[in-house]
Amino acid sequence: MTDAPVIANEDRRPLLLTLAPSHYCERARWALDLQAIVYDEKRLAPGAHVLRVKR
């Protein structure tokens, strides 16, 4: 095993949809950071996130 960070393919980066008050989202972000996984984050407003997630 190496300690080098994992660099995701630019087109295949995971998209993390987060809600500001959610501790579940915070834990997901910590887990990705701990594993050095490169991701894009999209912060959603509570309530308005339903439209985005259903698509």
* Helix (H) / strand (E) containing 43: strand 40-44
Q: What gap in Å lies between CA 31 and CA 18, rounded to an integer?
A: 14
**Quick one: residue 36, left, alpha or beta (phi over 0 = left, psi -120 to 50 = alpha)?**
left
Structure tokens at 1: 């095993």
pTM above 0.75, yes or no: no
Q: What gap in Å lies between CA 23 and CA 19, rounded to an integer?
A: 9
Look at residue 54 in the predicted model and tell me its pLDDT.
73
Q: What is the pLDDT of residues 9-49, one digit of tens each?
A: 556 788 888 888 889 999 999 999 999 999 999 888 777 66
Q: What gap in Å lies between CA 28 and CA 25, rounded to an integer?
A: 5
